[in-house]
Amino acid sequence: MQIKRFSLKHIKEEAAADATTEEKKDTRSLPQMIDDVIRNYHRPELEQMDEIETLLRRALFTDYAKNEYQLLYIHSKFAEFKASLEQHFAKEEAVVFPLMLDETRRNRASWVKVMELENEHSQAEEKIWDLRQNTSYFSIPGDSCEAMQDAYRKLAVLCDGISDHVTEENGVIFPAYEKLIE
Ligand SMILES: [Fe+2]
Ligand SMILES: [Fe+2]
């Protein structure tokens, strides 16, 4: 077994690394964080979902005869997933984010609305889990048409992005908001 040695140089290096991490603390304001999440996640994800929807519709007509079971599953589940995410994004942008930015309404009641979003994030993560499980982690079915292959690749990217999006809201934006109402 190798014994780890801690020299003075090593300790100084660790302290310097800690200081650098400290400097990387998120210094953005809440309005900036919210702008960033809309620009970096909502807008591109809405576009990605439109593209996937179009590809799946094309695949449905091209591959129906040879891949009926998988196509019907993914076509229906994706439609449901897309609708729930669009409604969630709209709720954030039209109701909850403006509430979070309204300094006169920062209270426990507004926090309850934020917690509703966290609950919806858990539901989205469950849907992603189901999609992954039922597609063997988006393994492209053999002899699929181009549209189906593209749809699966884009769906895998979308789901990874949604997980990062949820991490940003639950792990960065909501804790920053909670500090403001304490
Ligand atoms: Fe969001
Ligand atoms: Fe969200």
Whole-angstrom CA distances from 3 to 6, 11, 12 are: 10, 16, 19
Distance (Å) from CA 139 to ligand 2 centroid: 27
pLDDT of residue 181: 87
Distance (Å) from CA 26 to ligand 1 centroid: 18
pTM of the model: 0.85
What is the chain's pLDDT, residue by residue, as a tens digit (182 residues)? 444 444 445 544 555 455 455 446 888 999 999 999 999 999 999 999 999 999 999 999 999 999 999 999 999 999 999 999 999 999 999 999 999 999 999 888 899 999 999 999 999 999 999 999 999 999 998 889 999 999 999 999 999 999 999 999 999 999 999 999 87
Distance (Å) from CA 146 to ligand 1 centroid: 30
Token pair 């040879």 is found at 66
Distance (Å) from CA 16 to ligand 1 centroid: 35
pLDDT of residue 62: 96
Distance (Å) from CA 164 to ligand 2 centroid: 11
